[in-house]
Chains A and B, each alone.
Chain A
Amino acid sequence: MNMKRWQSRTGAIEIQFNWIFVLIIGALIITFFVMIAQKQKQASDRSLAADILSDMGLLFTGQGVSVGREDVLEMPDIPIDVSCTDFSMMGIPKELGQTILFAPSRIEAEELIMWTLSWDVPFKVANFMYMTGKDDKYYVVGKDADCNPEPGDNSKWGPIIDSERNLQLGEILPKSMDVECVPVGNLDALEYEKNPYVKFVFLPSALPPGASLPRIPDEFRAARVSILAIDGDISVAGWENGGAMLHLSTVREAGSTAYEMKPFPAFGTEAVLGAIFASDHETYTCMMERAISRMRNVAKVYKERTQRLITYFDEAECTRYLPYTLLDRYLDFPEPGRGGSIGTGEAASIARNIIDILRLGDAPLRQVVRQAQRASCPTMY
């Protein structure tokens, strides 16, 4: 009797032990597979990010060779971080090299807008690339007249930004971009539309001389905010010709109210547009310094080429159309940012220098090239 009871108790223990054993091993096996699945997902996301980055690198090259292109790309749910030296996804960086890219520091959107313009000074230096997310919002703040589009064409608003082609700001910006022109008086009534990134662009008309920057409504504290104020006062050539002073902020992170404004002189319409897309003063300065460095190299190539041409033609008629000293202005171009360490006064003096280059370098070069074309001589650029 006792023996039987003992045996049945051992059996019960054995069954319990088996179940506990199965449970522990089962849990271990499930944990193991869950871990593998997680690792695999991470690896697959990273591989996808690496593929996208590589394709985007090729796309930048493609954009770099075609002008005025506007592409809208569908993106996976992975944010893109852009800095001065690289762009990255999931911490995987891809070098920008000599690409001049103006973009928010972080893009979180299902669709990516890419746009290209050629930067000519007047000779072509490089293509400027602009990138933003379709969910990012741009508010252009001006006076009432700036924001009233011409009847029949909703894109015809804002000041003339390209005086050569007589294009208004609303006409020149990519159509797929979320831009809204707001009269400065209506700024307080603006409603936050839950965009991850918001840029406020204050036109010179919204900022009378000496006026301080209007306050950004408190609602926008939930977004990453960046500010650009265009000071047209300094311009002799008119800010629409690029001769303006730009005041760019640092990015105001969500939940914060702290930001700082720093000056930078503009150089051409494409550079003003670059400031609209750029996230902050630091990356804008970095991109413009890269652009100016390329400009010096291109000018050096043109100078050497022109001198060779003069040697070849010697005293012939064509040498009249090869005044290579005009290129010296581009070689001695001032350092515009010096790592963002310059003050407003110094930036203003550099901006005046730049305007001089625009006026004294650009126009004569264009003129001499046209004269050379008429005389069937080689052109300087």
Chain B
Amino acid sequence: MEMTRKRGQVKFGENIAIMLVFFILLAMGLLFYGAWQRGTIKESIQEQFVKEAIRIALTVSYLPEVVCSQDNYIVENCFDEYKVFALARLIETDEEAFLEYESLFHDSRVTIEKIFPPDEREIIYLYGNSPADDDYTEVIPTFVPVTLKDPTKRLDQGNSIAILKVEVFR
């Protein structure tokens, strides 16, 4: 009788041990899966951030407030220098306008750097809402070559080459 009870206890112990091993393996599997999922989520967040940077660059490139136009005919990849100055001033001086453009560009800095002709090199700050130096962990810059047109000059005489630089902060 004593023998049977002991055998029963051993069997029960065996069952518990099997369960324990099973759950340990399961927990390990879950841990690995969790780690892999964390990596995927990180990747996905990074992808969203890159998409956001592209979205902002695209938005600036086609903003009616800055693009070259003649009777609403839009010239692609061309910025009107006078419009750029006017928008930069508006964003700088009008708080209400700044808040509206903030909902469009979020935490980013938009600059236009005139690179040609070389003697007319200049940087125009269009929009700046960059966090303090230690308040961001990453910045994605996007560069778009554009023509900067001086509307006072006729036809192609007033065109400069510039780089639209959009830096998105996170």
Chain A interface residues (CB < 8 Å from chain B): 3, 6-7, 10, 14, 18, 21, 25, 47, 50-51, 54, 57-58, 61-62, 64-65, 95, 97-98, 118, 120, 122-126, 293-294, 297-298, 300-302, 304-305, 308-309, 312-313, 366, 369-370, 373, 376, 378-379, 381
Contact B86 A308 (CB under 8 A): yes
> What 8 A-B pairs come out closest when comparing CB atoms?
A304-B86, A65-B62, A378-B151, A305-B82, A301-B86, A124-B64, A305-B86, A301-B65
Q: Does B97 contact A (CB under 8 A)?
A: yes
Q: Quick check: is B157 within 8 A (CB to CB) of the other chain?
A: no
Query: Which B residues are in CB contact (< 8 Å) with A95?
Result: 103
Q: A54-B51, A124-B74 are in contact. List 5 more A-B contacts (CB 8 A).
A: A58-B51, A65-B62, A120-B72, A122-B72, A297-B97
Mark B40-69 against chain A: 1 for CB-CB distance below 8 A, else 0: 000010001001001100110110110001
Question: Residues of A contacting B71 with CB < 8 Å?
Answer: 366, 369-370, 373, 379, 381
A97–B55 Cα gap in the complex (Å)? Answer: 12
User: Are B85 and A308 neighbours in the complex by a CB distance under 8 Å?
Assistant: yes
The segment out of B87-95, B115-123, B159-167 that lies at the interface is B87-95
**Interface residue B4 (Cβ < 8 Å from any Cβ of A):** yes
Bound CA span A6–B64, Å: 94
Contact A58 B94 (CB under 8 A): no
| Cross-chain pairs A/B with CB under 8 angstroms, 23 sampled | A7-B1, A10-B4, A21-B15, A57-B51, A57-B55, A58-B54, A58-B58, A61-B58, A65-B61, A98-B103, A98-B104, A120-B72, A123-B72, A125-B64, A126-B64, A298-B64, A300-B94, A301-B83, A304-B89, A305-B80, A305-B83, A309-B82, A378-B152
Residue B137 at the chain A interface, CB threshold 8 Å: no
Q: Contacts of B31 on A, CB cut-off 8 Å?
A: none
Cβ-based interface call for B19 (8 A): yes
- A65 to B62, alpha carbons, bound, how many Å? 6
A90 to chain B, nearest CB (A): 16
Across-interface contacts of A97 in B (CB, < 8 A): 103-104
Interface centre among A3, A61, A376 (most CB of B within 10 A): A61
B58 and A313: CB pair below 8 A? no
B4 touches A65 (CB 8 A): no
Which one, A122, A293, A378, contacts B100 given CB within 8 A? A293
Interface size on B, residues (CB 8 A): 38
Q: Which residues of B from 28 to 44 have beta carbons under 8 Å from A?
A: 44
A51 to B87: give the CA distance in the assembly, Å. 33
> How would you classify the secondary structure of chain B's contact residues: helix, strand, loop or mixed?
helix
Beta-carbon nearest neighbor of A66 in chain B: B62
Residues of B within 8 A of A51 (CB): 44
A98 near B55: Cβ-Cβ < 8 Å = no
Q: Give B contacts to A, CB under 8 Å.
A: 1, 4, 8, 11, 15, 19, 44, 48, 51, 54-55, 58-59, 61-62, 64-65, 69-72, 74, 80, 82-83, 85-87, 89-90, 94, 97, 100, 103-104, 151-152, 154
The closest CB in chain B to the CB of A85 belongs to B103
* Nearest Cβ on chain B to A218's Cβ, whole angstroms: 43
CB–CB A58/B55 < 8 A: yes
Give bound CA distance, A378 to B51, whole Å: 36
Kindly provide the distance from the CB of A181 to the nearest chain B CB, expressed in whole angstroms: 31
Chain B residue with Cβ nearest A300:
B90
Closest CB in chain B relative to A43 CB, distance in Å: 8
Q: Are A64 and B152 in contact (CB under 8 A)?
A: no
Q: Which residues of B sit under 8 angstroms from A304, Cβ to Cβ?
A: 85-86, 89-90
**Chain B residue at minimum C-beta to C-beta distance from A97:** B103
A157 to B1, CA, bound (A): 97
Q: Is the CB of B19 within 8 A of A25?
A: yes
Residues of B within 8 A of A64 (CB): 59, 62
Residue of chain A at shortest CB distance from B70: A379
A296 to B1, CA, bound (A): 96
Shortest distance in angstroms between B23's beta carbon and chain A's nearest beta carbon?
9
Q: Please, which residues of chain B bring their CB within 8 A of the CB of A294?
A: 100
In angstroms, Cα B69 to Cα A120, docked, is: 13
Measured between C-beta atoms, what is the minimum distance from A251 to chain B in Å?
Answer: 26
**Please, how many angstroms separate the alpha-carbon atoms of A50 and B44 in the complex?**
10
A378 to B152 alpha-carbon distance, docked (Å):
7
Cβ-defined partner of A381 (8 Å) among B69, B97, B100, B103: B69
Docked complex Cα distance between A44 and B125 (Å) = 42
CA distance A57 to B50 in the complex (A): 13
Shortest beta-carbon distance, B140 to chain A, in Å? Answer: 15
Knowing A58-B55, A301-B86, say if A313 contacts B152 (CB, 8 Å). yes
